[in-house]
Structure 1
């Protein structure tokens, strides 16, 4: 069985772990709250514009428009926002997985300081926005194919997600001066693609970042163990 597929199954089985449930509730709640706050902000802006130009429908039209725009924003930006939020709690998920499956490694892991967590989160969100914007022209060109734009964004986000989800574990073990991840580009891409696809499934998409973080931990430790075994063989 592929190490990525095996890792996804292991991650799914750990969803009942209280530590993982706690992070899931926090990250999903904050993510949804951010979209609700954003939607309310859009509503207030539309209401102000309607009153300013005297075409307000008493708030009903503005509310409907705000709901539609918020749902559209959630569809387009959910991955970016959810992953950015999850970065703040990634240590808790990775630690839970390590304590259950890799206790020796858990003892050696170094918890990332808040500033580094924040920097990683902002960099990840920035990369996601930048690369999705760069992919937009290609998606527009392929609009006539119907499925083309979805494939373009799926491929782009598979690359981005694979990196983010495996770095969550790797950064706890690589020291203060990060070096290249031991996870192969292919495994990162497969993991990222699986989670990007899962994010498109209603309701399941809410848990996708959590499953991805746990699976990314398994994939990273598997790569670290294989790298260590090779090092020992050559010693």
Structure 2
């Protein structure tokens, strides 16, 4: 696991991976900018409809506050969905540089398949977290229970997402990841996605890490 993590950081020095990282960060931030603009127009319309004084000022302030809240709640979903779009290119770059023998035999699923899998991933993470919402509320009163269950649920989902990327390319025999390594990979990514600034790099890092784990044999231990 540690070796795969170190290799994933090294992968960022690859020009192709670095360019993809910039694209993922730019598109992720772009999605939230668009959401922020949409919220501003929505708030402005509401305040205008209510004929409230200083509507533009309040709508701007409220839209900024809501944008931050949306970013906190949806960052993981948006970041991973965006990464799915570029997943094929990220895996190509890492495999070409470190594992050319597997790059030659892997079957690239393509953009359409990546988008379909991204949509399924988004639906899955929303559905599972909605189902876990009553448990989040109940455990909220324990102080730490909600955070623990939240990280566990999302670690399981993220680990599965990363495994799906490799299975789509190399099939279940070579692309699958055993439960414990997959959970640890998902947990590492989930925690990283909660850290400001670092969370911009995490989706590409854990995708590269999954590639290193599968091809180095760590995923089979």
TM-score of Structure 1 vs Structure 2, range by shorter chain? over 0.9
1:90–1:55 Cα change, 3 Å: same
* Residues matched between the structures, number: 221
- 3-state secondary structure, aligned to 1:108: coil
Deviation at 1:146, TM superposition (A): 2.7
Counterpart check, 1:192 vs 2:186 = yes
Structure 2 CA distance for aligned equivalents of residues 27 and 76 of structure 1:
19
The equivalent of 2:68 in structure 1 is 71
TM-score by length of 2: 0.94
- 3-state secondary structure, aligned to 1:168: helix
Q: Contact 2:95/2:103 (CA < 8 Å) preserved in 1? A: yes
2:107 to 98, 106, 110: 110
Q: CA RMSD in A?
A: 1.9
Structure 2 CA distance for aligned equivalents of residues 199 and 75 of structure 1:
10
1:160 to 157, 160, 173: 157
Correspondence 1:1-235 to 2 at 5 A: 4-174=1-171, 182-223=176-217
State the Cα deviation string for residues 114-149 of structure 1 (Å, max 9, x = none). Answer: 221111110011111111111211111111223222
Structure 1 gaps of 5+ residues are 228-235
